[in-house]
Amino acid sequence: MLVVLKAKLKDILNTLAEEYKVLVPAKIEDTSKFISYKDNVDIILDENVKLSPKDVFFPQTEKMYKMKTVKTSMELENITDEAGKKLLFGVRSCDMKSLDCFDQVFLTKGYIDEFYKNKRDSVVTIALSCSQPMQTCFCSAMGVDSQKAVGADVQAYDLGDKIGLEAISDEGSKVIELIKGQLTEEGAEVPQPGEFYLKVDADGVSEKLNGMFESPIWDDVSKKCLNCGACTYVCPTCHCFDISQEVRGENVTKYRCWDSCMFGEYTQMAGGHNPRPTKKERVRNRFMHKLNYFPDRYNMLLCTGCGRCINVCPVNLDITSVIKQIKEAE
Amino acid sequence: MVDLTLEIRKTAKELLEKGEAKVVLGWEKGNFPYSTTPVFIDKPEDTERLIWDEYCINNLALYMLDYKHLDGKVGIFVKGCDSRGINRLVQDKQLDREKVILIGLSCPGMKDEKKAKELGPNADIPMAQKCQDCRYPDPVVYDVFLGEKQNKKVPEKIDTSDVEEMETKSPDEKYRFFTTNYEKCLRCYACRNVCPACNCKECIFDQTATGWLAKANNVSNNMFFALTRAMHVGGRCIECGECERVCSVNIPIMLLNKKIIKDINFLFGDYDAGLETEERLPLGGYDYTDPEEFM
Amino acid sequence: MCENCSCGNDHNHDHDHDQNVLIPQRGKIINIVEETSDTKTFSISTIDDKKPFDPQPGQLGMLSLGNVGEAIFSVTNKGENHIEMAIKAVGELTNALHEVEVGQEVGIRGAYGNGFPLDFCKGKDLLFIGGGIGLAPVRSLIMHCIRNRDDYGKLTVIYGARSKADLCFKEDLFENWPKVPNMDVFVTIDREEEGWDGHVGFVPSYVEELALKPQVTVVCGPPIMIKFTLPGLQKMGYADTDIITTLEMRMKCGVGKCGRCNIGSKYVCLDGPVFTLAEMKDLPQEY
Amino acid sequence: MSVNEVQQNKEVEQNWEPKILVFACTWCTYAGADLTGLSRLQYPPNIRILKVPCSGRVNPQFVIKAFQKGVDGVLVAGCHPGDCHYTSGNYFTRRRFLLMRRLMEYIGMEPQRFQNRWISAAEAPKFQQVITEMTEEIRTLGPNRKLRDDQW
């Protein structure tokens, strides 16, 4: 396997930065997320970032197009995406899996979301295996292999003081080619991942939920929920958005931005009717969507076990407990 | 910490068995040694789920809004901060004091869950910031009290040294500080939703049709949110620090709330929100002798 | 599978894959008909006088006013070079739309949704039941049947509104449709009213009164009307698979991405808005 | 941003004039502004007056929104204490904005940009003076970028 010392990682990133706009997981302003690589960024390799990389592909606020409205006329003007290839270094298996979910949503079922596709096509990914799961991690229960990500261009392995690299796709081979001179060939074994703290058994949970729309567990589960959007905004798979506009006199910018199924306004119709009026319906929809509706539609769970929602929930509403409760329900 | 778990369970069980309360709100253990989660018990046999340990940090008062129309009484365990939250809701006529049974608990100060996650299970976990700043560890109102009051010596006035330090900076420094922080804001509204002072039936930030706050996330809109919220909870904030605790991107929200508390104390006389239920709020009243700066 | 491209859609569709589906075409309002005090029908064509898209009966279109917003409406009819939408003023955008005049430029995109099952309806007698603005989606199918009159059996319309003034599409109801061969139109209003010599009563009871033989039925109207009409139909022996209705949810993208219009694992914008009663029974009751 | 736009922005900057939003209570300050005009008292044309029924009508979010939308300064003006048409509206105003002014300063807004004054219907010279002074103060500070929502 081609390896590099972690201490020399920045040399590689510097080389790659000549070709790509490199994004790395880093600590910044008392949180952590993927940011543009610079020599002085505080890269973190021992744990996953607090905010998922989804905003690289699906920004929290994304301008879509502009309009000029003068009296009765309305002219449309497209907005072009910034050009250039991006390279996302150090994406964990859970977050790679979430891109798989995003691809299903944005690229299939008859319509392609061009905004997403343009960004997706311009990003090359280097996935990084996890040696020690964080306490809130439960990816293996969601069918994610923490050592081998789906859809990565390059798979990187955490080998202690070194990182091993393996090209997966053609794009990945190009990346390796660029840095080949800085890598050494070594016999290295992919280490076994550490134990998961959270024991979750999600087998059959999708099927079990088929008859559970009216189950009393939703009353119980939703009681403590505050209906904030923290879980949905840190979730790497949550992809709901709203479309709105900013009006500046004649100039209108149409944009889309993240939305959350936890907010009452989300399904509120103009006439006043709201099909999901209370937190019970909203919480039920969130978990049903993740564990039943999405599998039904796209044949995969809409949860990758990254544990971020467990980490941020103000009231510790824990999806693994919900899964347990579902499985134990009559 | 005195282990009151058994007493808590017993009290809750009695309330439910005698039918004095329809439901009892407390805490149960979460999935981690350092986590608890609010629990709503309506069957006597479920009272075994209740616990009392150094991680029962959630302020439960705001849940009373969900039980406004319950036919019957609600039992609720209250620490100092929870009890002030209850008073606030009663003061805002959001809650009928007669409909709650407050079971007081003296709070030794809860440990910092975020730090516990970072430091691991064997570390010495520091007290949560909100508890370090707490001046009312004993409930200020209760119907039943379990355990013993600490009557701990607490500072008479809120510690605003961090606010004062901020005030000494130049306008641009201050602006940079707040905007770098609010640039991170996800606008998940956890701070608002967890706040026992926020009890509007429909929040201004949810009235998208009015156009006050666009959904677009940018630093200007986020600052609009932060400042408007700070003003809206001005005089109502009970310093429970829940907003700052739940922020998923660690914005020092209390720096804004404490600034307003400090100024209220200075301008209109010392005021601690949530200590009583009859008086007018600082911003809901006035005094002819208020400082005059508008001449 | 879609034969036009490799998009993986379940059915054929005519969208252009080079076109960004979330960006509308530039269109304009070429005609406005005032149906009732709060409902107008807008005819919309592209800026170069073409039909913005070719909707199947029951499909949806996303209409926007530049500085107000965008919302989805069912297409009530189509012409050579335009589509029609009947819009009731209920919210921010719809109120603004009611203020505009002919010539106003708008954004228009579509067609979205599944539309009515035309193959299934072919050759059969069809009963259309509508209440208030609920006639809007049904009208697209009625107009289709009239245009292709030989392909369908007897057509019957039962339509009701609160008052005479609230009746939509009056010209169709009283002038055009009664002249169509083998077509009956029954109109009712909720309460007695001066100058009205037609039927008085609610739609559900009128349906039971008329006691037509079981046939393929399209029901659209306010939830309360649907709620009371369906049991009546079932009592009269109408099959669940023959009862067709349309559902509505809040929508933003119209193409199954933005997430909010789901009922269970179905997206109303993509898999709906047309569902048979049999299909609806498989969905969670959350609409 | 295209080169053209940068050019335009520079021009805007060069020809920049302070833009001040005045929330004026209809009973006192608005009438005072009226009298200023009737008395032929000159004041800088940099203000836009927004008439409110009472200075107590002005919510904190009005002020922040104004800065978001691009004004360089905000003045909230109403009747003197004791003169409120609704008896006590301006006492509430006083409390609210004593706090808000401090909060705005605290987050880095220059205090000159957000001011409050009592101006009665008879105080035309005071209106003239306040507007003139405030305009000059803001002119010295330059255009306001803080809180502005200019990312569109």
B34-45 residue pLDDT tens: 999 999 999 999
Sort A309 into a burial class: Cβ within 10 Å, 0-12 / 13-18 / 19+: buried
In total, the C-beta contacts within 8 angstroms joining chain A to chain C are: 148
Q: Do D88 and B286 touch (CB under 8 A)?
A: yes
Kindly list the domain boundaries of chain B, sorted by start residue: 5-146, 161-284
Q: What value does the mean pLDDT take over residues A99-113?
A: 95
Taken as a whole, chain B contains a residue count of 295
Q: What angle do CA B194, B200, B201 make, to 5 degrees?
A: 105
Distance CA B215, CA B247 (A): 19
Q: Return the H-helix or E-strand segment holding A164.
A: strand A162-167
pLDDT in tens, D74-131: 999 999 999 999 999 999 999 999 999 999 999 999 999 999 999 999 999 999 999 9
CB–CB of A19/A85 below 8 Å? yes
What is the 3-state composition of chain A as percent helix, strand, coil, each rounded to the nearest 5?
35, 25, 40
Domain count, chain D: 1
> What pLDDT sits at residue B153?
82
Mean residue pLDDT across chain A: 94
B31 contacts in A (CB within 8 Å)?
A: 198, 310, 316, 318, 320-321
Contact: B220, D68; criterion CB under 8 Å: yes
pLDDT of residue C18: 59
- Residue A12 to residue A238: CA distance in whole angstroms: 32
Min Cα–Cα distance to chain D from A315, Å: 30
pLDDT tens by residue, B188-211: 999 999 999 999 988 999 988 788
Identify the band that residue C1 occupies on the pLDDT scale cut at 50, 70 and 90. Answer: very low
Specify the pLDDT at position D12: 60
Q: What integer is the mean pLDDT of B82-102?
A: 95
Domain hosting D118: range is 17-141
Residue C216: predicted pLDDT: 94
Contacts of B184 in chain A (CB under 8 A): 29, 31
**pLDDT-derived band of residue C6, with 50, 70 and 90 as boundaries?**
very low
Q: Decide which of 2.60.40.10, 2.40.30.10, 3.40.1390.30, 3.10.450.350 is the CATH code for C25-111.
A: 2.40.30.10
Phi, psi of C199 (to 5 degrees): -75, 145
Q: What is the DSSP string of C180-228?
A: STTEEEEEEESS--TT--SEES-HHHHHHHH-PPP-EEEEES-HHHHHH
- A268 — contact with chain B (CB < 8 Å)? no
Contacts across the A-D interface (CB distance below 8 Å)? 6
Residue of D nearest to B205 (CA): D61
Per-residue model confidence as pLDDT tens digits over C179-194: 999 999 999 999 999 9
Mean pLDDT of chain B: 94
- A28, A64, A224: which to substitute to probe chain B, counting the most B Cβ within 10 Å? A224
Lowest-pLDDT range of A233-237, B136-140, C13-17: C13-17
Helices (H) and strands (E) in chain C, counts: 7, 16
Q: Residue B3 has what pLDDT?
A: 82
d(C-alpha A216, C-alpha A329), whole Å: 9
Strand C105-112 and strand C60-65: the pairing is antiparallel
Residue type, C140: S
ipTM, 2 dp: 0.92
For residues A271 and A95, which has the higher predicted lDDT (pLDDT)? A95
Q: Do domains C25-111 and C118-246 have the same CATH topology?
A: no
Q: Is the dihedral of CA A141, A143, A144, A147 positive or negative?
A: positive
Assign C8 a pLDDT band (cuts: 50, 70, 90).
very low
Interface of B with D (CB under 8 A): 163, 166-167, 171-178, 204, 212, 218, 220-221, 223-224, 227-228, 230-232, 234, 256, 259-260, 263-264, 267-268, 282-283, 285-288, 290-295
Decide if A314 and B242 are in contact by the 8 Å CB cutoff: yes
Which of B163, B227, B258 to substitute to test the interface with D, most D CBs within 10 Å? B227
**Residue B119: its pLDDT value, please?**
85
**Distance from B228 to chain D by nearest Cα, in Å?**
6
Q: What is the pLDDT of residue D3?
A: 46
Q: CATH number of the domain at D121, please.
A: 3.40.50
A135, A226, A317 member nearest B193 (Cβ): A226
- A310 is written with which tokens? 């467990």
Checking if the pLDDT of C15 tops 60, the result is no
> Mean pLDDT, to the nearest integer, of A120-129?
96
Q: Do A73 and C260 touch (CB under 8 A)?
A: no
Say whether pLDDT at A49 is over 90.
yes
Give the per-residue pLDDT at B60. 96
3-state DSSP assignment of residue A27: strand
A 7-66 residues inside an 8 A Cβ radius of C: 64-65
If DSSP codes are grouped into helix, strand and coil, which group holds residue C88? strand
A152 near B CB under 8 A: no
Q: What tens digit of pLDDT does each residue of C207-262 get?
A: 999 989 889 999 998 888 988 999 999 999 999 999 999 998 999 999 999 999 99
Average pLDDT over residues B288-292: 94
Interface B:D, ≥3 CB–CB pairs < 8 Å:
yes
Contact A226/B186, CB-based, under 8 Å? no
Interface contact flag, D61 B256, Cβ < 8 Å: no
DSSP class per residue in C216-270? EEEEES-HHHHHHHHHHHHHTT--GGGEEEE-----SSSSS-S-TTEETTEETTT
Per CB-CB distance under 8 Å, the chain C contacts of A271 are: 90-91
What pLDDT was estimated at residue D61? 95
Vertex C122: Cα angle to C120 and C125 (nearest 5) = 100
Angle of the D29-38 helix axis to the D124-141 helix axis, nearest 10: 100
- Note which residues in 217-236 of chain A have CB less than 8 A from chain B: 220, 223-224, 226-230, 232-234
**Average pLDDT value for residue range B233-247:** 95
Neighbours of B, requiring at least 3 CB pairs below 8 Å, are A, D
pLDDT, position B2: 61
C12: pLDDT strictly greater than 80: no
Overall average pLDDT of the C137-154 stretch: 94
Q: Which residue of B has its CA nearest to A227?
A: B193
pLDDT of residue B156: 87
Radius of gyration of chain C (CA): 18
Cα–Cα distance, D152 to D144 (Å, whole number): 17
Q: For residue C11, what pLDDT band results from cuts at 50, 70 and 90?
A: low
Interchain CB distance below 8 Å, B234 and D116: no
pLDDT at residue A298 above 90? yes
Average pLDDT in the A20-30 region?
95
What is the helix (H) or strand (E) element at residue C92, kind and residue range?
Answer: helix C92-97
Tell whether the model's pLDDT for residue D6 goes beyond 80: no
Residue C17: pLDDT band with limits 50, 70, 90: very low
Whether the pLDDT of residue C7 is over 80: the answer is: no
Distance between start and end Cα atoms, chain D: 11
How far does B37 lie from chain A, in Å, by closest CA? 5
Per-residue pLDDT averaged across D27-56, rounded? 97
CB-defined contacts B:D, below 8 A: 106
Which of chain D's residues have a Cβ under 8 Å away from the Cβ of B160?
Answer: none
What pLDDT, on the 0 to 100 scale, is given for residue A330?
Answer: 82
CA distance A52 to chain C (A): 19
Q: Which residues contact C58 (CB under 8 A, 6 or more apart)?
A: C74, C113, C114, C115, C116, C137, C140, C141, C246, C273, C274
Q: What pLDDT, on a 0 to 100 scale, did the predictor assign at position D10?
A: 55
CA distance A233 to chain B (A): 7
Query: Quick check: B7 pLDDT over 80?
Result: yes
pLDDT of C9 higher than 50: no
What class, spelled out in words, does domain C118-246 have in CATH? Answer: alpha beta
Residues in chain B closer than 8 A to A29 (CB atoms)? 180-181, 183-184, 249-250
Does position C36 have pLDDT exceeding 50, yes or no? yes
Q: State how far the Cα of B161 lies from the Cα of B255, in Å rounded to an integer.
A: 10
Question: Domain segments of chain C: what residues?
Answer: 25-111, 118-246
Residues in chain D with CB shorter than 8 Å from the CB of A248 are: 152
pLDDT-derived band at D7, boundaries 50, 70, 90? low
Average pLDDT over residues D53-73: 96
Q: Which residues of A touch C67 (CB under 8 A)?
A: 67, 69, 245, 247, 252
Q: Is residue D100 part of a domain?
A: yes
Contact A69 C26 (CB under 8 A): no
- In this prediction, residues A193-199 reach a mean pLDDT of 91
The whole-angstrom distance between B51's CA and the closest CA on chain A is: 15
Beta-ladder partners of D21: D48, D74
**What six digits make up the tokens of A45?**
């390799």
Write down the residue that tokens 């029951």 correspond to.
Answer: C58
User: Taking CB atoms and an 8 Å cutoff, what residues of chain B touch D148?
Assistant: 220
Output the pLDDT for position D1. Answer: 42
Q: Which residue of A has its CA nearest to B27?
A: A315
The tokens for B68 are 């406004």
